[in-house]
């Protein structure tokens, strides 16, 4: 509803659209957004696919642990990644300081398009890696054997048989990355790269609900809806499974040079995606401790993150429970519509949802403007699908005959819910709730737009300290955020992304 | 066995999903304490009939009575949890998060458990050593026992069994079948078994209803159904008869296997079961053996007449036939139906 309301408003000022195009640099911003979208999707696909093929199909020591290490950057929010790269590779950053004694005084620095592209690639390729490797594992290799017997070389089997058969997971994961890229606010704004999301926030600071804010938010929503529409079309069969048990292919033994190449490729990826961010963060943290920097300014953020995340996840669990039951238990029209609606919420850019809630809270219900309530509502809009997904997965094991068996044994509908449905689905619901908790804690753009004055979260702290080059404080909040969320995020997302 | 009380009476039940009529004018009478079979091919509406009786779905029309009290009509609809009808599902529907013991205790009150009903049912079904296990950790046959124990525990008056033995191997199915029947008899529980397996229906049930396209076409004892089927469909559903067309005049019908008495005049279908044809080696015979399939307890002999028509006979295993043997036949019993066309 908020989205529709905003689109309606968008249509209403379309009279003077031509002047907007001139004064707001629409094409420039759109070009930047689309070019980083294309660049990141391509590079993430290449990196993610290579990791998948190498770790699933090649035989070398430590492939499992290297696979996990490669997937780990998934847990690092893009703004924390950007923070580490900026502080390390700015013209006079950490890197220069480190090699100062060798006569290095200044470097070109990583920012703008290059920085956004690098950082976004590093923290999105794990989506491709997880989805494609799971599809690759399920791929029946008899077709490849057939190709080999028809005289196709081993390398050509990959380009001609394997990758074409992974077309659907490739498109699906590529567009997932794309959705992430166009909605990203933290990395591009810290890299000072002018995309649509960065423009929304800049115009917001200038005039809260000025026409440009509405215009760009609507534009972003339209872009996101197109991408997620195409993505869902490709989701119908994510793993190219053939009936029967897939035959597991024999892993390819590598020559020495091949092994060296594989190790250096994986090592390089892990170095960029994991070792640099972690060591930079640790450096700032240790330096802060050494100099006795005051970290008490970070405490309200920690408290804010926790309270927002707890409240949001509890509401997410409570709201998703009836929705999950409606969708799967009774195959009603209403449930069907509800499911579609929830799916389309997924992938809406957070900043645009933030703007639409802002719009409603300012124009329609002034009472909730800058309230904790409005913030939680806007979190729920984007994260509810995660809770529902968790519940739905476990709802699948509640067969309709269980309900009938219970009723047939004389238990009432309420008792049946207590003794059968709830015990079978609560774990999934709580797992979904945990995912909501983690997502809320890491959320940045909506929080920036909607937080009550005096209310802070760790994400906001990381971003605003980093924007002011207060890296020690930023690192402290970032470190705590990662320490709390890394492992559960990794477990939950690998479970969701591998089929 | 003599039954004198009706427990369930269903009249003119109909049910359709969209434009597809699953049950039309469905009538049954079920005797208290009997084991009642509903026999039909898949899609004949037998599972739907069970679900209507259990109350999981509502008929579009008709009435269901239990002990002469209406449990469903236009005004009344007793919900499934109040009908006191137990059900054993085709996939068992055992609750995966509860142990065997808790599954069985599910429909029992605390008091009933305290009074020993749970232990009684568990020992009755020989499940004592599986009490603490989870359904997914025990074999298919044990799961079937648990499903039955769970249904029987609250002492329902009727237990519905939906294709209860189809997911078990043949030997296990036969053993469990006997066990289930003796349990039902011992507890004086009326059983309604839905099945597509003719052997199951005939060997277990007191009364069998043959269902076709959502209608009961014959309800009778297994012997009656087998020996006097009222239509070709019934004959086909309980056995594998030779069907021969013929025209009857003055109560006699002439066919390629001989001339027989008939109840009707005019165009007829004559049904002759393979076991009602005796085959003997006879160099002056009119028939030639085409094939002989040996089953152990009997054998099925396919033979051909001079016009190239092929028939089947079933005989004891002791006689040996080879393809090409000349034989004569003796038909001991026939059934005739008015021709369908």
**Which residue's entry shows tokens 């008056």?**
B157
Q: Which residue of B87, B96, B97 is in closest CB contact with A408?
A: B87
Positions of E strands within B196-325: 207-212, 215-220, 242-249, 252-255, 258-261, 266-272, 277-281, 287-294, 299-304, 310-315
For chain A, positions 365-404, list CB contacts with chain B under 8 A.
Answer: 397, 399, 401-402, 404
Lowest mean pLDDT among A105-119, A150-164, B128-142: A150-164
Position B49 scores a pLDDT of: 92
CA-wise closest residue to B188 among B24, B31, B326: B31
Residue pair A308/A440 in contact by the 8 Å Cβ criterion: yes
Lowest mean pLDDT among A60-69, A118-127, A226-235, B87-96: A226-235
Q: Which residues of chain B does A399 touch, with a Cβ-Cβ cutoff of 8 Å?
A: 91, 93
Residue pair A169/A135 in contact by the 8 Å Cβ criterion: yes
pLDDT digits (tens, 9 = 90+) for A329-365: 666 666 667 677 766 777 788 888 888 888 888 877 7
Stretch B236-265: mean pLDDT, rounded? Answer: 85
Q: Do A411 and B87 touch (CB under 8 A)?
A: no
Stretch A148-152: mean pLDDT, rounded? Answer: 72
| Best-predicted range by mean pLDDT (A233-237, A266-270, B317-321) | A266-270
Q: Which residues of chain B does A394 touch, with a Cβ-Cβ cutoff of 8 Å?
A: none
Calculate the CA A49 to chain-centre distance.
18
Q: Do A410 and B89 touch (CB under 8 A)?
A: no
Q: Could you tell me which CATH number the domain at B6-84+156-237 has?
A: 3.40.50.300
Q: DSSP secondary-structure letter at B168? A: S
Q: Do A423 and B106 touch (CB under 8 A)?
A: no
Please provide residue B155's backbone torsions phi and psi, each rounded to the nearest 5 degrees: 50, 60
Min CA distance, A140 vs chain B (Å)? Answer: 28
Min CA distance, B215 vs chain A (Å)? Answer: 25
List the structure tokens of B296.
């152990």
Residue pair B101/B132 in contact by the 8 Å Cβ criterion: yes
pLDDT digits (tens, 9 = 90+) for A104-140: 777 777 778 999 999 999 999 998 998 888 888 877 7
Lowest mean pLDDT among A340-354, A437-451, B160-174, B288-302: A340-354
Position B38 scores a pLDDT of: 94
Position B121 scores a pLDDT of: 93
Q: Which residues of chain B does A402 touch, with a Cβ-Cβ cutoff of 8 Å?
A: 93, 95
Position B26 scores a pLDDT of: 93
Q: Which residues of chain A does B87 touch, with a Cβ-Cβ cutoff of 8 Å?
A: 404-405, 408
Q: For residue A234, name the pLDDT band (cuts at 50, 70, 90).
A: low
CA–CA distance, A469 with A490 (Å, rounded to integer): 29
Nearest CA in chain B to A412: B81
Specify the DSSP element, H or E, that contains B28: strand B20-31
pLDDT of A294 strictly over 60: yes
CA–CA distance, A177 with B77 (Å, rounded to integer): 54
Nearest CA in chain B to A403: B93
CA–CA distance, B248 with A441 (Å, rounded to integer): 89
Q: Which residues of chain A does B150 touch, with a Cβ-Cβ cutoff of 8 Å?
A: 405, 409
Stretch A70-95: mean pLDDT, rounded? Answer: 86
Ranges of each domain in chain B: 6-84+156-237, 242-338
Q: Do B80 and A407 touch (CB under 8 A)?
A: yes
Q: Do A412 and B85 touch (CB under 8 A)?
A: no
Q: Report the predicted TM-score, pTM, of the whole model to 2 decimal places.
A: 0.74
Best residue in B89, B112, B117, B135 for a mutation probing chain A (most A CBs within 10 Å)? B89
Nearest CA in chain A to B91: A401
Min CA distance, B189 vs chain A (Å)? Answer: 15
Q: Which residue has the higher pLDDT, A92 or A375?
A: A375
Q: For residue A261, name the pLDDT band (cuts at 50, 70, 90).
A: very high
| Best-predicted range by mean pLDDT (A16-20, B157-161, B243-247) | B157-161
Position B238 scores a pLDDT of: 80
Angle of helix A372-395 relative to helix A422-442, nearest 10 degrees, comes to 140
Position A242 scores a pLDDT of: 43
Residue pair A6/A209 in contact by the 8 Å Cβ criterion: no
CB burial of B226-260 (b: ≥16 within 10 Å; e: otherwise) equals beebebbbbbbbbbebbebebebeeeebebbbeeb
pLDDT digits (tens, 9 = 90+) for A92-102: 777 878 777 77
SS3 (DSSP) at A253: strand
Min CA distance, A343 vs chain B (Å)? Answer: 29
Q: What percent of chain A has pLDDT over 70?
A: 87
Lowest mean pLDDT among A127-131, A265-269, A290-294, B85-89: A290-294
SS3 (DSSP) at B328: strand
In A184-298, which residue ranges form alpha helices assigned H by DSSP? Answer: 186-190, 196-206, 211-233, 256-270, 276-290
Q: Could you tell me if A426 lies within 8 Å of chain B, comparing CB atoms? A: no
Position A150 scores a pLDDT of: 73
pLDDT of B126 strictly over 60: yes
Q: For residue A41, name the pLDDT band (cuts at 50, 70, 90).
A: very high
Q: Which residue has the higher pLDDT, B11 or A243?
A: B11
Nearest CA in chain B to A423: B97
Residue pair A86/A93 in contact by the 8 Å Cβ criterion: yes
List the structure tokens of B193.
């078994």
* CA dihedral of residues B270, B276, B281, B283 (deg, nearest 10): -20
Position A23 scores a pLDDT of: 65
Q: Is beta strand B69-72 parallel, antiparallel or unpaired with respect to B61-66?
A: antiparallel
CA–CA distance, A441 with A433 (Å, rounded to integer): 12
Fold of domain B242-338: OB fold (Dihydrolipoamide Acetyltransferase, E2P) (2.40.50)
The terminus-to-terminus CA distance of chain B in angstroms comes to 39
CA-wise closest residue to A144 among A163, A160, A157: A157
pLDDT digits (tens, 9 = 90+) for A394-424: 887 788 889 889 988 888 888 998 998 889 8
Min CA distance, B56 vs chain A (Å)? Answer: 7
Q: Please name each of the domains of chain A with its CATH number.
A: 1-290 (1.10.3720.10), 293-499 (1.10.3720.10)
Average pLDDT, chain A: 82
Q: Which residues of chain A does B80 touch, with a Cβ-Cβ cutoff of 8 Å?
A: 404, 407-408
Q: Which residue has the higher pLDDT, A151 or B325?
A: B325
CA-wise closest residue to B117 among B152, B168, B81: B152
Q: Do B87 and A423 touch (CB under 8 A)?
A: no
Q: Could you tell me if A414 lies within 8 Å of chain B, comparing CB atoms? A: no
Q: Do B150 and A405 touch (CB under 8 A)?
A: yes
Position B158 scores a pLDDT of: 93
Q: Could you tell me if A410 lies within 8 Å of chain B, comparing CB atoms? A: yes
Q: Which residue has the higher pLDDT, B35 or B319?
A: B35
Residue pair B239/B228 in contact by the 8 Å Cβ criterion: no
Best residue in B52, B93, B144 for a mutation probing chain A (most A CBs within 10 Å)? B93
Q: Do A408 and B86 touch (CB under 8 A)?
A: yes
The terminus-to-terminus CA distance of chain A in angstroms comes to 32
Q: What percent of chain A has pLDDT over 90?
A: 16
Q: For residue B19, name the pLDDT band (cuts at 50, 70, 90).
A: confident
Position A139 scores a pLDDT of: 77
Q: Which residue of A402, A408, A419 is in closest CB contact with B85?
A: A408
Min CA distance, A186 vs chain B (Å)? Answer: 44
Q: For residue A384, name the pLDDT band (cuts at 50, 70, 90).
A: confident
pLDDT of B150 strictly over 90: yes
Burial of A124 (0-12, 13-18, 19+ CB in 10 A): buried
Q: For residue B338, name the pLDDT band (cuts at 50, 70, 90).
A: confident
């Amino acid at each position: 509803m908020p989205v529709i309301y905003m689109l309606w408003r968008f249509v209403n000022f379309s009279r003077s659209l031509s002047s907007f195009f001139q004064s707001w640099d629409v094409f420039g911003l759109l070009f930047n957004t689309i070019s980083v979208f294309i660049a990141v999707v391509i590079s993430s696909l290449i990196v993610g696919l290579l990791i998948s093929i190498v770790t699933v199909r090649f035989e070398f020591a430590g492939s499992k642990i290297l696979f996990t290490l490669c997937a780990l950057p998934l847990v690092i929010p893009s703004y924390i990644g950007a923070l580490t790269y900026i502080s390390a590779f700015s013209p006079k950053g950490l890197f220069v300081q480190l090699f100062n004694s060798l006569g290095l005084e200044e470097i070109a620095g990583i920012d703008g398009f290059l920085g956004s592209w690098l950082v976004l690639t590093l923290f999105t390729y794990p989506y491709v890696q997880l989805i494609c490797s799971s599809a690759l594992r399920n791929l029946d290799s008899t077709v490849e054997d057939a190709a080999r017997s028809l005289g196709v070389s081993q390398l050509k089997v990959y380009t001609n048989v394997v990758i074409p058969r992974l077309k659907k997971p490739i498109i699906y994961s590529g567009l997932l990355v794309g959705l992430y890229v166009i909605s990203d606010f933290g990395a591009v704004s810290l890299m000072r790269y002018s995309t649509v999301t960065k423009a929304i926030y800049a115009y917001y600071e200038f005039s809260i609900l000025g026409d440009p804010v509405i215009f760009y938010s609507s534009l972003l929503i339209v872009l996101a809806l197109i991408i997620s529409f195409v993505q869902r079309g490709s989701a119908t069969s994510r793993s190219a499974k053939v009936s029967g048990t897939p035959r597991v292919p024999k892993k390819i033994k590598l020559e020495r040079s091949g092994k060296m190449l594989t190790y250096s490729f994986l090592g390089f990826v892990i170095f960029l995606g994991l070792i640099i961010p972690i060591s930079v963060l640790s450096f700032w943290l240790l330096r802060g401790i050494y100099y006795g920097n005051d970290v008490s300014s970070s405490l309200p953020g920690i408290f804010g993150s926790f309270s927002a995340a707890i409240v949001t996840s509890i509401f997410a669990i409570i709201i998703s429970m009836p929705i999950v039951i409606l969708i799967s238990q009774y195959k009603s029209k209403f449930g069907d519509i509800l499911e579609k609606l929830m799916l389309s919420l997924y992938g809406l850019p957070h900043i645009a949802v933030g703007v639409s809630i802002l719009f409603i809270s300012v124009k329609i219900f002034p009472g909730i403007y800058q309230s904790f309530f409005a913030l939680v509502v806007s979190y729920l809009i984007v994260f509810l699908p995660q809770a529902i997904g968790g519940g739905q997965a476990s709802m699948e094991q509640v067969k309709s005959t269980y309900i009938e068996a219970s009723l047939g044994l004389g238990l009432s509908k309420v008792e049946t819910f207590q003794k059968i449905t709830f015990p079978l689905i609560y774990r999934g619901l709580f797992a979904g709730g945990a995912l909501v908790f983690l997502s809320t804690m890491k959320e940045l753009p909506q929080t920036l737009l909607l937080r009550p004055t005096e209310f802070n979260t760790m994400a906001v702290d990381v971003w605003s300290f980093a924007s002011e080059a207060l890296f020690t404080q930023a690192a402290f909040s970032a470190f705590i955020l990662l320490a709390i969320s890394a492992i559960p995020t990794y477990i939950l997302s690998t479970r969701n992304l591998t089929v | 066995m003599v039954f004198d009380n009706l427990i369930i009476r269903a009249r003119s039940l109909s049910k359709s999903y969209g434009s597809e009529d699953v049950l039309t004018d469905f009538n049954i009478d079920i005797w208290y304490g009997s084991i009642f079979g509903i026999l039909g091919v898949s899609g004949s509406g037998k599972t739907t009939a069970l679900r209507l009786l259990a109350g999981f779905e509502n008929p579009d029309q008709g009435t269901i009575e239990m002990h002469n009290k209406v449990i469903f009509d236009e005004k009344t609809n007793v919900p499934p949890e109040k009908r006191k009808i137990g059900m054993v599902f085709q996939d068992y529907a055992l609750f995966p998060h509860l142990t065997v013991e808790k599954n069985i205790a599910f429909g029992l009150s605390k008091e009933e458990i305290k009074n020993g009903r749970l232990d009684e049912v568990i020992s009755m079904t020989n499940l004592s050593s599986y009490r603490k296990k989870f359904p997914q950790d025990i074999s298919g046959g044990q799961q079937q026992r648990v499903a039955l124990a769970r249904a029987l525990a609250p002492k329902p008056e009727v237990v519905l069994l939906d294709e209860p033995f189809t997911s078990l191997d043949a030997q296990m199915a036969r053993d469990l079948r006997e066990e289930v029947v003796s349990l039902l008899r011992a507890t004086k529980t009326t059983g309604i078994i839905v099945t597509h397996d003719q052997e199951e229906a005939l060997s277990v049930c007191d009364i069998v209803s043959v269902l076709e396209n959502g209608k009961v076409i014959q309800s009778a004892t297994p012997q009656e159904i087998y020996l006097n089927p009222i239509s070709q469909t019934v004959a086909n559903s309980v056995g594998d008869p030779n069907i021969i067309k013929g025209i009857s005049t003055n109560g006699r019908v002439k066919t390629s296997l001989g001339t027989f008495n008939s109840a009707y005049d005019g165009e007829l279908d004559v049904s002759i079961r393979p076991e009602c044809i005796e085959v003997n080696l006879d160099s002056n015979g009119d028939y030639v053996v085409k094939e002989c399939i040996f089953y152990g307890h009997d054998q099925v002999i396919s033979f051909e007449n001079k016009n190239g028509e092929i028939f089947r006979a079933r005989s004891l295993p002791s006689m040996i036939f080879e393809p090409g043997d000349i034989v004569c036949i003796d038909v001991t019993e026939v059934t005739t139906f008015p021709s369908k066309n």
